[in-house]
Amino acid sequence: MSDVLKIAIAGLGTVGGGTVRLLTEHAELLALRAGRPLAIVACAALDKPPELPLVGVPFFADARRMVADCDYDVLVELIGGSGGVALDVVTAALGRGCHVVTANKAMIAHHGLALALQAERAGVTFGFEAAVAGGIPIIKALREGLAGNRIQQIYGILNGTCNYILTTMRETGREFAEVLAEAQALGYAEADPSFDIDGIDAAHKLSILTSLAFGTAVDFGQVHIEGIRHVSALDIRFAEELGYRIKLLGIARRTETGIEQRVHPCMVPINSSIGRVDGVFNAVVAEGDFVGRTVFEGRGAGAGPTASAVVADLVDIAAGRRRPTFGVPAGRLEPLRCAAMDDHRGAYYIRLMVVDRPGVFAEIATALRDEQVSMESILQHGRAPGETVSVVMTIHDTREAAMNRAIRRIGAIDAMVEPPRLIRIEAF
């Protein structure tokens, strides 16, 4: 075998620890698959976990110093964050002509194009299989397995925390706040869960998938983002009655006006490939013009799955397999021509909480008619004159701008007890 691939690891948290264990436990197997041994030659973290098999490996409390002073071939960055130390050490390693492997979706979403250009100018790899969907090899699939296809759309469940919360709400009938607290206690949600439940994490990942799928520069700023805080147990029950499940999805799609990039709760058919994915699992669906629909499902986070993705990139580097970072040379990535959300066309679910009195439906129907929005069906269980009742409508395909105008008019009706709730319906 040829010379050892020397690896420096910055960050020894959950994923860093998993990566160390995988490299150690599977050392012989990895050497056979890569054609050369892979060895950790340095590591950096605020504290060195005593349980990790790092005897004799130089340890640094300062990742910047490790990157500047050590002799290594590839830096594995597992610190996290879009800037700060993570960005500093990645930029420095690339500047030294070293390969970089990272799980840092926020950094790629904000700085991916610049880092890809730097890596390609240096003739090194900038690998990020672990940044999207954990152990699912979706980056490799888009860049290599589906390279012969023009991708029409890519969508999926990109955040396991949100999928766990929505699944548990459906299975138990409990409300969002209670299930979120449980997810935090179990370690599925952070103490500050906003990046997950407000859709930011999924949007970071979607912007990366959009670049790979459509050959465009990563443009996180043009992702339409909504989270799941407003989804109620009542919405989930109505979704089941209508034959749907509610999922937080990231969707990128070619349209006549550009590429849609959107993250928001969706109602999807119960029996669809995406509708059956529950718990902390992720799933990604890519549709190509020659291959048709391909579905990828697996664990989207955690020490083992994410470490598996990190090491996949390391094996490619050790074996000398190099490809453009985003599937085409970074300098050939096109600026993203993003379709305006107002131009989106689709079906909608609307839930209203109204005082049950004569004339309310006429006012609602007038608002829909005036904006040329067509109702498909309506659900109301029982009557309670003078009391608050829930009314659910599904809407035929319509333009988002018209739907929003109608919602604003309906929300202004004095019989409304709370703002209308809108969830888009996707007929996958």
The strands making up 99-102's β-sheet, listed across from edge to edge, are 59-60, 38-44, 5-10, 74-77, 99-102, 126-127
How far apart are alpha carbons 197 and 377 in whole angstroms? Answer: 30
Start-to-end CA distance of the chain, whole Å, equals 48
- Cα three-residue angle 148-153-154, rounded to 5 degrees: 95
Q: What CATH architecture applies to the domain 139-299?
A: 2-Layer Sandwich (3.30)
Check whether 419 has a pLDDT greater than 50.
Answer: yes
Enzyme catalytic residues: 205
User: How much helix, strand and coil, in percent to the nearest 5, is found in the chain?
Assistant: 40, 25, 35
User: pLDDT tens digits, residue range 41-82?
Assistant: 999 999 988 899 999 999 999 999 999 999 999 999 999 999
- Binning pLDDT at 50, 70 and 90, where does residue 194 land? very high
Q: What CATH architecture applies to the domain 344-425?
A: 2-Layer Sandwich (3.30)
Q: Under a CB-based contact definition with an 8 Å cutoff, are residues 391 and 234 in contact?
A: no
Q: Delimit the domains of the chain by residue range.
A: 5-131, 139-299, 344-425
186, with CB counted inside 10 A (0-12, 13-18, 19+), is exposed
| Strand segments (E) across 20-113 | 38-44, 59-60, 74-77, 99-102
The token duo for 215 is: 């050959």
Among candidates 26, 89, 96, 94, which has minimal Cα distance to 60?
A: 89
Least confident of 83-97, 208-222, 318-332, 375-389: 375-389
pTM for the model: 0.96
Residue-level pLDDT at 142: 97
- Binning pLDDT at 50, 70 and 90, where does residue 386 land? confident
Residue-level pLDDT at 2: 64
Question: How many other β-carbons are positioned within 10 Å of the β-carbon of residue 257?
Answer: 12
Residue-level pLDDT at 287: 97
The token duo for 374 is: 């067509």
Check whether 364 has a pLDDT greater than 80.
Answer: yes
Check whether 1 has a pLDDT greater than 50.
Answer: no
User: pLDDT tens digits, residue range 208-248?
Assistant: 999 999 999 999 999 999 999 999 999 999 999 999 999 99
What DSSP line would sit under 203-254, residue for residue?
A: HHHHHHHHHHHHTB---GGG-EE--STT--HHHHHHHHHHTEEEEEEEEEEE
pLDDT, average across residues 326-350: 96
Residue-level pLDDT at 189: 87
Residue-level pLDDT at 373: 96
Residue-level pLDDT at 48: 87
Q: Under a CB-based contact definition with an 8 Å cutoff, are residues 212 and 140 in contact?
A: no
Instruction: For the chain, give the mean pLDDT.
Output: 95
How far apart are alpha carbons 133 and 131 in whole angstroms? Answer: 7
Residue-level pLDDT at 105: 97
Q: Under a CB-based contact definition with an 8 Å cutoff, are residues 50 and 15 in contact?
A: no
Cα-based torsion angle of the residue sequence 127, 192, 223, 410 in order, rounded to the nearest 10 degrees: 160
Check whether 329 has a pLDDT greater than 60.
Answer: yes
How far apart are alpha carbons 12 and 19 in whole angstroms? Answer: 9
The superfamily in CATH containing domain 5-131 is NAD(P)-binding Rossmann-like Domain (3.40.50.720)
User: pLDDT tens digits, residue range 258-304?
Assistant: 999 999 999 999 999 999 999 999 999 999 999 999 999 999 888 99
How far apart are alpha carbons 122 and 132 in whole angstroms? Answer: 24
Q: φ, ψ for residue 301 (rounded to 5)?
A: -160, 180
Check whether 168 has a pLDDT greater than 90.
Answer: yes
How far apart are alpha carbons 243 and 23 in whole angstroms? Answer: 45
